[in-house]
A and B are shown apart, each in its own frame.
Chain A
Amino acid sequence: MSFDFVSLTNVIISGVLTGLVYGLMALGLSVIFGVARVVNFAHGEMMTLAMYASVILFSAFELNPFMAVLPVAAIFFVLGYGLQRWIVNPFVTRPEHTQFMLLLAIAIILTNGQLIFFGPDARSVRLDSLLESIALGPLLIDRGKLYAALVALGTAAALFSFFRFSRGGTAIRACADNWLGAKVVGLNVKQLYALAFGLGSLCVAVAGSMMILLVDLTPSIGPGYRLLAFVIVIVGGLGSMNGALVGGVLIGLSEALAGMFILPSAKSMFSFALLIVVLLLRPRGLIGGQR
Chain B
Amino acid sequence: MSVNAPRSIDEYLKQLRQALEGQDPALIQDALYDAEEYLRAEVAAHPDKSESDVLELIASTYGAPDEVAAAYRDTEAKVKAALKTPAPRAAHTSGLARFFGVYQDPRAYTSLFYMLLTLATGVVYFTFVVTGLSLSAGFAVLIIGVPFFLAFIGIARVIALGEGRLLEAMTGERMPRRPVHPGPPASWWRRIADMLTDVRTWTTLLYLLIMLPLGIIYFTLAVTGLAVGLRLALAPFVVLSRDFGWLPPGVSLDMIQIDGWHAASPHTLLGSLFYMVFGVVIVTALMHAARGIARGHARLAKALLVVPGA
A binds B: no
- Residues on B close to A: CB < 8 A? none
